[in-house]
Structure 1
Amino acid sequence: MTAPGSFAAGTEDRVQGRAGMRRVSPMSRLLGARETGVFIAFLVLCAFLALTTDSFLTLSNLLNVGRQVSLLGIMAIGMTFVLISGEIDLSIGATYALSGLAAGMLITMGWNVAPAIAAGLCLGMLVGLVNGLLSTYGRLPSLIATLGMMSVIRGIALLMTDGQPVTVNVRNGADPGVLETFLALGQGRVADLVPMQLVFFILAALLGWALLSRTSFGFRIFAVGGSPKAARVSGIDVNAVKIWAFVVMGCLAAAAGILSMAFLPSGQAGRTGVGLELDVIAAVVVGGASLAGGSGSILGTVLGVLMIGVLRNGLVLSGVSPFTQEVMIGLVIIIAVAIDRWSIRCTRG
């Protein structure tokens, strides 16, 4: 039988130990964060490019990199929600194309900018809703459900456009004032300096961070991805959480597609957004999200997007051929994910 004094002493030791852990936890969290390795690799890459190229650190080039990764980043924010929930979405490239082309066609039909954009966003959210329903109540693996939806959506886009390119201009029926406003969303610059696409990416990242880190919905996303059974026992509607994750993904994929059409007001259903889903998933995984669900962060996703964008930009500035670029980027993704898996195993002992 344990003496009262011993019990009290043991309790005091545990309390002091916990207090010590609380005192060092911020630094421990920083050093142990999964984003730390990506951030260090990003800094090393930037330093290398700054030393080996003359134009990398110029303001114009950095802003250009920001614009180039913006659409990828917006979709990667949505994919973060889906991956953390334990699912995956392969239909985002097709959704990107369908929503952008739909918004462009509506503008050429005489619609104003706001209703045309709203229609495109609703279309993306509808796709996300269908994906969510198929993956939850339909009991289909999300990999299969969204792979099938990718073909369905691409086919709908082809039927909608009759396989012809969609070009948004005055000659095709767009109102000059409406067209100017629409193009400003993709081509404009804040203070004649910061690209509008980059502004939208920053806004999407901030909203995504707030939703994932500061709301009960974000908590439920992590709970569902970590253990659906435990989440269900805790009273969380697992199916509803996953469906909403897909809806967020569909909305952001649609937003990226509309911004793409506003930047380059021409697209074709059979080509626009093809293969984009692989780049998005790669960026999120490089940023530390787990394909098994339950882990990831908006900060990590942003770092993953920047890592891929800076790497592509650096290879171009270094004069590396496009074919070699694809090989090198693929290797970087494989190495980054392998290091991440290794670090997790070491942490778990």
Structure 2
Amino acid sequence: MSNTLVPPVGPAADVSSSIRASERLRSAMQAAGMLPVLVLLALAFHFFGGHRFLTGQNLSIVAQQASINVVLSAGMTFVILTGGIDLSVGSTLAFSAMGGLMVSLLPGFGWLAIPTCLVIGLAVGLFNGGLISGLKIPPFIVTLGTLTAVRGLARLMGADRTIFNPSLSYAWIGNDGIPLSSTLVIPWLAVIALAVVVASWFILRRTVLGVHIYAVGGNQAAARLAGIRVGAVLMFVYALSGLLAGLGGVMSSARLYAANGLQLGQSYELDAIAAVILGGTSFVGGIGSIWGTLVGGLMIAVLSNGLILLGVSDIWQFIIKGLVIIIAVALDRFRQPAART
């Protein structure tokens, strides 16, 4: 008797073919993520916005606008991959920018401005991580508290006024770039953001620490049983999120020559979370990529810039961006088979 397997025919073959086609489509969507949507958005804004979007000057503006959010979103990706959340990044950015600006005004100590921003951000991140990993307080509660408290410290530091330094030594970071042509310039802000993304990719995909981060997000109890130091992993991701928020403070103050504890960084945490979710990272942790986050951050910048070119009012910009995020999460349900079971 022959053991050769006979392929199914008739209705069974049609069902099998349909299942394979569905799986191939889902695999393709997982690989592409939101990149096709980003491309379609850019093309739509270009053709409906008077062919002004895909110009060298405007693309440089979009890159500059996206950079700070991409940096914050990179830190947020690490946090959300562990199943956590960091609502304090906007306030931390403002606090660190205020600290950096004030130090930059001290005669002979201007060179300490950037380290001050980074240290302040790192300190807030370590504080969050210590409470979450050491005292087991839920991340939402901890970072919601620091969102408010750190914002208050930023306002207190500047006595509720704007700190301005027209001679800021590192202002070139926020206002200069690498010229590629007479109209296209790659802002240094974008270079920094891309460097952060590449470093984040290396940590997540090429180190043992990255494996542990995914494991903690997938199942914290199982990760602990496997010998992973869950507390140390959580400390790292929140410290990194704070450090990158401090870097965001450097970038923001460099761009504006100024900082304000009340307004700077308002709602930045929401844009960062949106970029991460748009990029396909699962809100419950364990699934996601930093390249997806980069695409998500660019989508938010493209939306904001394109809607302005179309003359859409601020009110409708909020509504449209909110609807796009909801649609993206709905698409994520299809891209992630685990979410459908």
**TM-score, length-normalised on structure 2?**
0.88
Counterparts of 1:276-295 in structure 2 under 5 Å? 276-295=268-287
Q: What's the CA shift string for 1:91-130, capped at 9, x where partnerless?
A: 0011000101101100101254542211210110110011
Structural RMSD (CA): 2.3
**Closer, same or farther in 2 for the Cα pair 1:346/1:157, shift >3 Å?**
closer
**In structure 2, which of residues 138, 141, 145 is the aligned counterpart of residue 141 of structure 1?**
138
Q: CA deviation at 1:345?
A: 4.3
SS of corresponding position for 1:194 = strand
Question: Does structure 2 retain, via aligned residues, the 8 Å contact 1:124–1:250?
Answer: yes
Shift of the alpha carbon at 1:49?
Answer: 2.1
Alignment of 1:60 onto 2:57: yes
Partner of 1:187: 175
Change (3 A) 1:246 1:29: farther
Q: Distance in 2 between matches of 1:114 and 1:297?
A: 35
Residues 35/284 of structure 1: CA separation in 2 closer, same or farther (3 Å cut): farther
Give the alignment of 1:23-172 within 5 angstroms: 31-32=27-28, 34=30, 36-53=32-49, 54-170=51-167
Q: Distance in 1 between matches of 2:283 and 2:273?
A: 9
Q: Which moved more, 1:126-135 or 1:47-56?
A: 47-56
Residue matched to 2:250:
258
1:228 partnered with 2:220: yes
1:32 Cα offset (Å): 4.3
Give per-residue Cα distances to partners, 1:150-199, cap 9 Å, x unaligned: 111111112211112111135xxxxxxxx3x3111111112372111111
1:312 aligned residue: 304
Question: Is contact 2:33–2:292 with CA below 8 Å preserved after alignment?
Answer: no
Q: Partners of 2:192 and 2:202 in 1: how far apart?
A: 15
SS in 1 for 2:134: coil
1:227-251 alpha-carbon deviations (Å, 9 max, x no partner): 1111111110001001100011001
Structure number having the greater helix percentage: 1
How much does 1:50 deviate? 2.8
| Counterpart residue identity of residue 257, structure 1 | G
Deviates more, 1:130-139 or 1:108-117: 108-117
Residues 87-96 or 146-155, more deviating? 146-155
Change (3 A) 1:81 1:264: same
State the partner residue of 2:16.
none
Q: Summarize deviations over 1:274-301 as a string: whole Å, max 9, x none.
A: 1111111011111111111111111100
Structure 2 Cα separation of the partners of residues 315 and 221 of structure 1: 37
- 1:196 aligns to 2:188 (yes or no): yes
Q: Distance in 2 between matches of 1:140 and 1:347?
A: 27
1:337 to 325, 329, 333: 329
SS in 2 for 1:136: helix
In 1: Cα distance, 2:25 partner to 2:135 partner:
39
Amino acid at match of 1:341: R
Tell me by how many angstroms 1:253 deviates. Answer: 0.7
Counterpart Cα distance in 1 of 2:99 and 2:24: 48
Q: Is the 8 A contact 2:151 2:262 kept in 1?
A: yes
Normalization by structure 1: what TM-score?
A: 0.86
Letter in 2 for 1:292: V
Q: How big is the shift at 1:47?
A: 2.3
Quote the Cα distance in structure 2 between the aligned partners of 1:124 and 1:55. 37
| Corresponding pairs, count | 318
CA-CA distance at 1:272 after TM superposition: 1.0
- Provide closer, same or farther for how the CA distance between residues 34 and 260 of structure 1 changes in structure 2, counting only shifts above 3 A: same
User: Aligned to 1:211, which of 188, 203, 207?
Assistant: 203
